Amino acid sequence: MARLSEKIGYGMGDFASSMFWKIFSYYLPIFYSDVFGLKPVHAATLLLVTKLYDAVSDPVMGLIADRTETRWGKYRPYLLWMAVPFAAIGILSFYVPDSTYAVKHVYAYVMYILMMTAYTAVNVPYGAMLGVMTDDSKEKSVFSSFRMFFAYIGSFIAMGIFGLFEKSIIGKTNAAGRVMKGVGDADPMSWTMVVSVVAVLCAVLFVLCFLMTRERVKTEKKAEGPGSSIRKDLKSLAANGPWWLLLGAAIGQLLCASIRGGAAAYYFANILDTSVFLTCAAYLLIGEIAQMTGVTLTVPLSERFGKRNTFIATLAGVIVFNCAIWFIPLGSAATIWWLLVLHILVSLCFGITAPLTWSMFADVADYSELKNGSASTGLIFSSSSMAQKFGGAIGGFLLLALLGAFGYDKDLAVQAPGTLSAIRAMMSFIPAIGAGLGIVFLCFYPLTTARMKDIQDKLQTRRNQ
């Protein structure tokens, strides 16, 4: 059984990744539209194109990681190698060059593609580590829970930093003479400085994760040896039914999370009375606390009801609580309290599902090893990162595309009624569709608790031969 220090060390990796991922999910749309100065339709296309490219690059990184051989292991070295490049590119992604619109547009594409490439190069191998740190399915759930608990701590800290940033500017006048209602009104260099703090912390945490973890499990190689063809690996993946189903469920879940997360900044700035005591960052911060609480429930719930059933039930909760946000009465003293209660409930459900996703991908890798003679762990885990990118790409695109379609204009003091309705829908009904999609895929997912026990018993026998 792995030591507590190693579980904490493993959590450090997603502590770092999650800080930037939440900034991408919650603040990048408003940064591009209101700070960087891109038109909503251009920002929407940028998020879609770059993240779709990045999603395709994830399996490539998985193949590379599976074929990496060092004295530190296959996957773990990338945490060390990519720590500094990840931080540096992250800072530059939130820098606004003083140039023409066309140059800025190209710069945004280049930097975001580089950022997503760096994210892939560290996060795909990091995720694959779960498959080689232990061969016990229950302990994988424990490692996954530590990972997600620390991920939410990272999100909590990132949101806290942005909360202080937001609090420091609200009510003041920016360079354009406009009274600032949120971070979308802040000057560009302030954004760069805030993101720099997060980036440096990320680099330190990746190095700590590298130092505190070990790879132990030697997955079975194909009969043709280490030179087995990429084509055969991809063919095995394409024939892996549980992988396709779990990928679809993960995309649906992350589509839901990315839309509602990105819509929050617009909701607070345009729907709620700006005099309310709760800022958008504080609202998101409370959600991270609720998600951390949900993580602690994952292992006991999944052990009692099974991973698939727990996943389905919590996504159903997301649908119900998210849709209820539409019916919150606006303009009353109770508005913010109802919003908070429903946000906490949705976040609690997301906290339960997040570790399940990673743990179930580890199960899919075991299924692949038994069926095909090779786990292709990096390739399979790259799909979980790919799901994040597809969900984030589609979610970010829909968010900005709908804002553009319904006439969102950052310079208007009050948005048009149709625009306001679209923002409300993106906090309620629209993201719920993603959660419903996830349930549909999970209903057909075949790797039950009993099935996984049989797979692991057979693998243990084979590995001991």
- The predicted model gives 220-248 an average pLDDT of 72
Residue ranges per structural domain of the chain: 10-464
Q: Is-contact 295 352, C-beta < 8 A?
A: yes
The rounded distance, in Å, linking the Cα atoms of 87 and 82 is 9
| DSSP per position, 119-163 | HHHHHHHHHHTHHHH-S-HHHHHHHHHHHHHHHHHHHHHHHHHHH
Residue 275 in this model has a pLDDT that exceeds 60: no
Distance between alpha carbon 253 and the CA centroid of its chain, in Å?
A: 10
- The predicted model gives 234-238 an average pLDDT of 79
- The predicted model gives 333-347 an average pLDDT of 92
- Residue 394 phi/psi, 5-degree rounding, is -70, -40
When the pLDDT of each residue in the chain is averaged and rounded to a whole number, the result is 86
CB burial of 354-375 (b: ≥16 within 10 Å; e: otherwise) equals bbbbbbbbbbbbbbbbbebbbb
Distance between alpha carbon 433 and the CA centroid of its chain, in Å?
A: 18
Most confident of 264-268, 386-390, 434-438: 434-438
| Tens-place pLDDT, residues 156-214 | 899 889 888 888 887 788 777 777 777 878 899 999 999 999 999 999 999 999 999 99
Class of the domain covering 10-464: mainly alpha
Note the residue count of the chain.
465
CA dist 351 → 261, 286, 315 (Å) = 14, 12, 11
The rounded distance, in Å, linking the Cα atoms of 235 and 222 is 14
- The predicted model gives 238-251 an average pLDDT of 89
Q: Is-contact 402 249, C-beta < 8 A?
A: no
Beta strands in 307-450 (DSSP E): none
| Tens-place pLDDT, residues 404-453 | 889 888 778 788 999 999 999 999 999 999 999 999 999 999 998 889 88
- The predicted model gives 129-145 an average pLDDT of 82
Q: Is-contact 398 42, C-beta < 8 A?
A: no
Instruction: State residue 138's pLDDT score.
Output: 76
Q: Which residue would you say has higher pLDDT here, 356 or 2?
A: 356
- The predicted model gives 321-348 an average pLDDT of 92
